[in-house]
């Protein structure tokens, strides 16, 4: 899990002792560039430091993790680190713009591995929750034809969006201009009657587009 440069991380949690523990657990591959104790402070720190990754508690004062994901999910990758195993909380986090949802009981080695994946653009979920959510998504989507209104190229773009890739990364992968990717995403949103780019990730997972 080596790299030429460490992942720049903001840690947001309303318990300073917990933030300190996570900071110690992350190790050399992660550079902690900021910390916050509530939703408003987290948003301000993220905008100031522009991190690669945000590790955020779901339940904090002033909007908590959902506020952070909603306001910052388009500019960085937000991973929830929480005690909540409620399916509704996970779905809300994805809908708000989070690219991952991990439990606070995750062992340090596993946490480092999952956060490294998230920093590279992969959605990450605690295994027990992923299984539960996928079961529900499949049940919800059985009666629907996934993405039937989308062209082959739009479906391809959507797959990359679902993995958390940026417009630039998608353009490089598909050998098209970043502006072209942006136009595809705009068309996909219109066809699926969605309002925000981050809602595409939830749609893709619900319909098995990976």
pLDDT tens-digit readout, 100-158: 899 999 999 999 999 998 998 787 888 777 666 555 555 554 544 555 567 888 888 88
- Taking residue 79's Cβ as centre, other Cβ atoms within 10 Å add up to 27
- Dihedral pair phi/psi, residue 18, rounded to 5°: -65, -45
Q: By C-alpha distance, which of 79, 58, 185 is closest to 122? A: 79
The CA distance from 11 to 196, in Å, is: 25
Q: Does residue 53 contact residue 77 with C-beta atoms inside 8 Å? A: yes
Main-chain phi, psi angles of 102, to 5 degrees: -120, 150
CATH class of 144-206: mainly alpha
d(CA 145, CA 87): 24
4 vs 24, more confident: 24
Tell me the two tokens of residue 129: 């929750």
Give the pLDDT confidence of 41-56 residue by residue, as tens digits. Answer: 999 999 999 999 999 9
Buried-exposed string 176-208: b where 16+ CB fall within 10 A, e elsewhere: beeeebeebbebbbeebeeeebbbbbbbbbbbe
Q: Where does residue 169 rank: exposed (0-12), middle (13-18), buried (19+ CB within 10 A)?
A: middle
Domain limits, the chain:
7-137, 144-206
Question: At the fourth CATH level, which superfamily is domain 7-137?
Answer: Response regulator (3.40.50.2300)
Cα–Cα distances in Å, from 205 out to 53, 133, 140, 183, 209?
Answer: 21, 9, 11, 22, 6
Q: In what order do the strands lie in the sheet with 53-56?
A: 30-36, 7-12, 53-56, 77-82, 100-103, 124-125
DSSP per residue, 149-186: TS-HHHHHHHHHHHTT--HHHHHHHHTS-HHHHHHHHH
pLDDT digits (tens, 9 = 90+) for 55-114: 999 999 999 999 999 999 888 999 999 999 887 888 788 878 888 899 999 999 999 999
């Amino acid at each position: 899990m080596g790299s030429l440069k460490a992942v720049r991380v903001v840690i947001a949690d309303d318990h300073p002792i917990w933030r300190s523990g996570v900071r110690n657990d992350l190790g050399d591959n992660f550079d902690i560039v900021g910390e916050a104790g509530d939703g408003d402070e987290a948003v301000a720190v993220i905008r100031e430091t522009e991190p690669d990754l945000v590790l955020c508690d779901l339940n904090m004062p002033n909007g908590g993790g959902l506020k952070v994901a909603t306001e910052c999910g388009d500019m960085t990758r937000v991973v929830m680190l929480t005690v909540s195993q409620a399916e509704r909380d996970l779905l809300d986090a994805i809908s708000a713009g989070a690219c991952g949802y991990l439990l606070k009981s995750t062992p340090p080695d596993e946490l480092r591995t999952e956060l490294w994946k998230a920093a590279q653009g992969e959605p990450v979920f605690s295994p027990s929750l992923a299984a539960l959510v996928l079961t529900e998504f499949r049940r919800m989507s059985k009666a629907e034809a996934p993405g039937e209104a989308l062209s082959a190229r739009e479906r391809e773009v959507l797959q990359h969006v679902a993995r958390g890739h940026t417009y630039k990364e998608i353009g490089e992968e598909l050998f098209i201009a970043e502006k072209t990717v942006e136009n595809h995403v705009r068309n996909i949103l219109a066809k699926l009657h969605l309002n925000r780019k981050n809602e595409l990730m939830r749609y893709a997972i619900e319909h098995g587009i990976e």
